[in-house]
Structure 1
Amino acid sequence: MSKLARSVASVHRLEDIPNVGQAVADKLRRIGITTPADLVGADPYALYATLNAEMEVCHDPCLLDTFIAATRFMAGEPAKPWWAYTAERKACCSQYKDK
C-alpha cells in the first residue's frame, strides 16, 4: 500500500485515504466526490460505472478495486491494499458476464 493506514478521523482530503493518490482523487472529483465523507455509504460499483459513463471510456477494473478499498476504509474497515479486493470484484462481476 502506498500510504500508511490511518483512521477515518485523520482523513481530511481524498488523497489522505489509503490507495487514493492524485490521479484517483481527480477521477472521483470529476464525478462529484469532493470530500472523503462523500464516500461514506457510496457504492463503489456505481462510482465506477458513473466515471466510465462520464468519461466515455471503460477504465481498468483495478480502478474499481481501488474504489472498493476507499469506500470500505471510509466505512470504518481496516486499510487494505486495493488488490485485496480483486477476487471479490471478479466474483461479483462474473455473475453479469454470463447474462
Structure 2
Amino acid sequence: MSTVFIALQTNEETRPIVEAIIQDNPDCTVNEQPAMVKIDAQGKLVVRRETIEELIGRSYDLQELQVNLITISGNLDQTDDEMILYWNA
C-alpha cells in the first residue's frame, strides 16, 4: 500500500487542523519541521470539516485549508464535508 500525505505550514491557524487530522487518522505519522508539518498515512488520509469545527469552535470551509497548504500526495476527492487523499489499488 502506498503512502499519501498532506503538508501544512506550521502556525496558530493550522495547529487545530493538524490535531483534527491526527484524531481522524489515528494510524498516521506526523513529521514536524520548524516551518511545516507533514502527515503521512498508508493508503488513505481523511480531513473532516466537522472535526476541525469541533476543535476551532466555529464554522469551517475546507477551502480555507488551501491558504496554509504546502503540498499533497495522492488522488484527491473533496466535498463540502471532507477531503480524502488516497491511491487506487
More strand per residue: 1 or 2?
A: 2
Q: TM-score band (shorter)? A: 0.3 to 0.5
Give the structure-2-normalised TM-score: 0.39
- Structure ranking higher on relative contact order (CA contacts 8 Å, 6+ apart): 2
More helix per residue: 1 or 2?
A: 1
- Between structure 1 and structure 2, the one with the greater Rg is 1
